[in-house]
């Protein structure tokens, strides 16, 4: 008989299809790598904008986030911040709720 309960993996897949994550990054950036690795580890997909390759997009990032460092991460319309904030949300369990809502 099929269970209606979702496994952790199915939940991650559900997150993947429901979430919209955008990460502004540069090529050499340990914090960007750490943020990407955290999301890949959770099985969630994200779009990446390389601001070092597109000055206009760096300007867009700075306007949207009011920050100059990379990465800058958005989940839906919510500005999460950088890697420190992302990992803080993961530690507190809030990242999963944010992904489910977005």
When the beta carbons of 80 and 99 are compared against ligand GSH, the nearer one is: 80
CB of 80 vs ligand GSH, minimal distance in Å: 10
User: Could you tell me which of 88, 86, 87, 91 has the C-alpha nearest to residue 21?
Assistant: 86
Evaluated on CA atoms 16, 75, 37, 97, the torsion sign reads: negative
Q: Which residue is nearest to ligand GSH (CB)?
A: 82
When the beta carbons of 14 and 38 are compared against ligand GSH, the nearer one is: 38
Residues composing the chain: 102
Q: Hey, what are 23's tokens?
A: 């990460």
CB of 60 vs ligand GSH, minimal distance in Å: 16
CB of 53 vs ligand GSH, minimal distance in Å: 15
Residue ranges binding ligand GSH (CB under 6 A):
29-31, 68-71, 82-84
When the beta carbons of 10 and 84 are compared against ligand GSH, the nearer one is: 84
How far from 72 is each of 4, 13, 22, 39, CA to CA, in Å?
37, 23, 8, 14
């Amino acid at each position: 008989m099929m269970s209606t309960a979702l496994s952790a993996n199915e939940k991650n897949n559900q997150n993947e299809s429901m979430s919209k994550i955008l990460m502004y990054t540069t090529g050499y950036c340990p914090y960007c790598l750490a943020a990407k690795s955290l999301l890949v580890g959770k099985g969630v997909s994200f779009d990446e904008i390389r601001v070092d390759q597109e000055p206009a997009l760096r300007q867009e990032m700075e306007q949207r986030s009011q920050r100059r460092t990379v990465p800058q991460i958005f989940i839906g319309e919510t500005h999460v911040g950088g890697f420190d904030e992302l990992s803080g949300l993961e530690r507190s369990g809030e990242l999963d709720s944010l992904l489910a809502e977005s």
